[in-house]
Structure 1
Amino acid sequence: MDTAIATQHESRSSLLPMAIIGMLFFIFGFVTWLNGALIPFLQTICDLTAFQAMLVASAFYIAYTVMALPMAAIIERTGYKNGMALGLALVGVGALIFIPAAYSRIFGVFLLAQFVVGSGLTILQTASNPYIVRVGSPDTAAVRICIMGLLNKGAGIVAPLVFAALVLGGITGISDAELSALSATAKDAKLDELAGQLVSPYIGMAILAVILAVAMTFAPLPDIEDEAVAGQENAEVTLAGLMKFPQLILGSVALFFYVGVEVIAGDAIGLLGRQAGMDTAEAAVLTSYTMIFMVLGYIYGTIAIPRFISQQTALMISAVLGLVFTALVMTGSMESAALSAATLSQFGLPEVPNAVFFVALLGFANAMCWPAIWPLALEGLGKFTSKGSALLIMGISGAAVMPPLYGHFADTGDGQLAYLIAIPAYLFILFYALKGHKLRSWK
């Protein structure tokens, strides 16, 4: 009886912090998955190859590697709550840089804006993920992260649609064929008009981010301090000290591969759509298809963990599904749309080729990776948790490395067969699910 009362009290006491962090997950989900719409958009207005277009993702995600440890140091000084406020403010600054980028149509300025926004999200991720893991029972950590994932990926469904409505709404004549038929002067004017559509939405994003940063400063969010576990009482928390935790190091590698394939599925789906003959406006909303299946995956995880399957079993299932769906992407038809006609089109969504549909299904396979890897990797870290979280955040750099590699293979070969890059990634995730997370020494 006492245990039940304690559990209920824990649930009530974590409800408000979860609601506040949930708002943050929605925000950085919205900002993150705008990339899926930005990539084909910037490919058009800046006249980019597939490799160059995927640098939009690289500039965003490389911030997680460059800034993770500095941001972890900031969190140690300021606490979780003030760190999150700073992260929101940085997102606002990055959004403002999109304004000169849009007016100049200089690709490098867009990349700078992406890096600054990514830096803001780095501190938000570094603070919020361990917070959610530690705000309740360790056994239900994956469920709490699933709930956050629902908000994050729900924002991913909305973001491309909002982008299309605010930026592409009312603009016609932007297919590759229509643009190539224009004179150089007329094409330049059309692209300037298209780029100018970015200004108002990003001004709005900047204002909202600053308002939320101020609100976060006064939010009733208690700080959670890392506690030492047995044998760590006198241990010095250093980066080198993290190397004695195989489950953490291998978990960071698993996250590297997971985030790489997640971003390829979410952001590069638009490039594959364009290869199939879709125009810029149609390709810009394809990220929503992947996010729909990710949301379904999170719902499945919220219901199944830990009632029916463990966190590690969920990760194993995700890896196997990733391997299967990747094989189907590579072999699926680029002409037939039978699969989406029988499923998504029943809900009013446009049909897509079967190969593109299987890319969207990778969203379902990927959904359980992030929620399962985090608690498995942080288990037993004690006072090393904050620095361990920063190391895991650095694993997000997989999204800076793997998508451009995909873009290179798509440019030099076939965008469909380029998904072969995902196979070794899912194989490593499978290894981590079966064995890697259990290791407690390197011997």
Structure 2
Amino acid sequence: MLSNTTPSGRDVLLPMFFIGLMFFILGFVTWLNGSLIPFLKIVCELSNFQALWVAFAFYIAYTVMALPSAAILARTGYKRGMTIALGVMAMGALLFIPAARTGLYPIFLIALFTLASGMTLMQTAINPYIVCIGPRESAALRISIMGLFNKGAGIVVPLVFTALILSGMEHVSEASLGALDAAAREAMRNDLSQRLVFPYAVMAGALLLFMGLIHVSSLREPVLDAADAPADAAPRQGLLQHPQLVLGAITLFGYVGVEVIAGDTIALYGHQLGVAHYGVLTSYTMGFMVLGYALGVLLIPRWLSQRAALAWSAGSGLLFALGVALGSSGESTWSQALLGWAGVPAVPDTVLCLALLGLSNALVWPAVWPLALEGLGKHTAAGSALLIMAISGGALLPMLYGHLADVSGPQRAYWVLLPWYALILFYALAGSRLRRWSVA
């Protein structure tokens, strides 16, 4: 908790406003990847596996930088940590300019790693902040509200990216580029790559503007209770004695992996199926995630416990994953029935099931965090860093998907989703209740 007294409405709402702003920024930057992956696959002439290095470079930063981020927060505090994080993110956005001008894929990856390093510091600050700002039993509710900001940005950004970057690229593909002579192909690749310069320059300016806003804001530094105070010097083995934390971290590893696969490969998969509007398909996934978060806000904790929400998420995830792996990629019957009334362009049934995973994924992160941090006391901050490190699932599992897609085909590769949803179900039913590793 922030203090020993019950927080006033202003004490809760003002921080939630600024943290909601941060979640929107994080979502905007994160869900660019879903549109960026198929774009760079064309521009840099990549295989599925190579294109998904975008996800690896982005999400591996959460493992590399999580513990350094906890150490930075211990020195600077939460508010200054947020301003530093925004500055690092602005540096990453600026690195996209030389990457776009040269068209060199390694520079794109360095820029993505730098962006994500700043986001790691931000995540390490704002996730425990939002958990501790009020009662623990309603923590999933508050995180769900933050998720509306995060995934709402995920709906907007593919539309913006498509309008600014993919406009006029309907007939551009690996095959069409391959039909050009070497000089014409290089000129086309350079022209396409240059389209990234202006948007990322604007992004860098916006991040610096938000950095100044947070610096001059009245956002208060939290005064944590002794039980929740950061313990960066705590022995690492102390964390491993908490099964709910360790299993929670493994669960988040799998969850982030399947979330990134659902959000970042849907455009790639749609492009390979010949979906005309493939650049906006990430918006489908994010739209269902927003619906899931809205349900979380309405139902948790009054009608649905955090564990029950997690179990429902895992069960539905298993069903939709089976739909992706076994459904028809040539028919759009389900899409027309579910979305046709709203005028949303139809997509193949397997693409719809992949998008529906957004609904299943929405409540996993909000539910796992409070369950994993429960009872950690002085190890809460270090436990938060461990959970942030689990975001590396978003780096490794999409790479596995990319390899399987190149070897056995894009649709068959989605079988990789099923064991992770089974793990989430185990954590909901049993793993989150454990408080020691044996009964002896």
TM category (shorter chain) comes to: over 0.9
Alignment-derived partner of residue 272 in structure 2: 275
Distance 2:208 2:230 in 1: 39
Which residue of the other structure, out of 390, 406, 409, is the alignment partner of 1:395? Answer: 390
> Any idea what the Cα deviations from partners look like across 1:368-421, whole Å, max 9, x if unmatched?
100000010111112211111100000000001100000000000021111111
**Amino acid corresponding to residue 264 of structure 2 in structure 1:** D
1:233 Cα deviation after fit: 12
**Amino acid corresponding to residue 325 of structure 1 in structure 2:** F
Does residue 204 (structure 1) correspond to residue 202 (structure 2)? The answer is yes
> Any idea what the Cα deviations from partners look like across 1:111-157, whole Å, max 9, x if unmatched?
00000000010011000000000111111100000000011000000
Which residue of the other structure, out of 72, 94, 99, is the alignment partner of 2:70? Answer: 72
Distance 1:401 1:189 in 2: 33
**Amino acid corresponding to residue 237 of structure 1 in structure 2:** A
Question: Which of 153-162 and 348-357 deviates more?
Answer: 348-357
Alignment-derived partner of residue 3 in structure 1: none
Does residue 355 (structure 1) correspond to residue 353 (structure 2)? The answer is no
Distance 1:219 1:261 in 2: 36
Question: Which of 432-441 and 257-266 deviates more?
Answer: 432-441
> In the TM superposition, what are the counterparts of 1:205-284 in structure 2 within 5 Å?
205-229=203-227, 237-278=234-275, 282-284=277-279
> In the TM superposition, what are the counterparts of 1:92-107 in structure 2 within 5 Å?
92-107=90-105
Contact 2:130 2:142 in 1 (8 A): yes
Contact 1:93 1:117 in 2 (8 A): yes
Alignment-derived partner of residue 25 in structure 1: 23
Which residue of the other structure, out of 331, 348, 364, is the alignment partner of 1:336? Answer: 331
Contact 2:35 2:279 in 1 (8 A): yes
Does residue 314 (structure 1) correspond to residue 309 (structure 2)? The answer is yes
Does residue 141 (structure 1) correspond to residue 139 (structure 2)? The answer is yes
Distance 2:326 2:232 in 1: 52
Alignment-derived partner of residue 159 in structure 2: 161
Contact 1:11 1:136 in 2 (8 A): no
Distance 1:262 1:395 in 2: 13
Match of 1:174, SS state, is coil
Distance verdict in 2 for CA 1:331–1:64, change over 3 Å: same
Alignment-derived partner of residue 416 in structure 2: 421
Does residue 114 (structure 1) correspond to residue 85 (structure 2)? The answer is no
Contact 1:330 1:355 in 2 (8 A): yes
> Any idea what the Cα deviations from partners look like across 1:291-336, whole Å, max 9, x if unmatched?
0100000011111111111001000000111111001111111111
Which residue of the other structure, out of 405, 420, 425, is the alignment partner of 1:430? Answer: 425
Contact 2:231 2:378 in 1 (8 A): no
**Amino acid corresponding to residue 246 of structure 1 in structure 2:** P
Distance 2:362 2:60 in 1: 22
> In the TM superposition, what are the counterparts of 1:365-404 in structure 2 within 5 Å?
365-404=360-399
Distance 1:287 1:402 in 2: 18
Distance verdict in 2 for CA 1:235–1:19, change over 3 Å: closer
Distance 2:232 2:147 in 1: 34
Contact 2:130 2:139 in 1 (8 A): yes
Distance verdict in 2 for CA 1:316–1:98, change over 3 Å: same
Contact 2:321 2:357 in 1 (8 A): yes
Contact 1:323 1:426 in 2 (8 A): yes
Distance 2:46 2:230 in 1: 54
Alignment-derived partner of residue 411 in structure 1: 406
In structure 2, stretches of 5+ residues that fail to align are none
Alignment-derived partner of residue 121 in structure 2: 123
**Amino acid corresponding to residue 431 of structure 1 in structure 2:** F
Distance 1:425 1:237 in 2: 30
**Matched residues, percent identical?**
53
Distance 2:230 2:10 in 1: 31
Q: How large is the RMSD of aligned CA atoms in angstroms?
A: 1.9
> In the TM superposition, what are the counterparts of 1:166-185 in structure 2 within 5 Å?
166-171=164-169, 173-185=171-183
How many correspondences in the alignment?
435
Match of 1:402, SS state, is helix
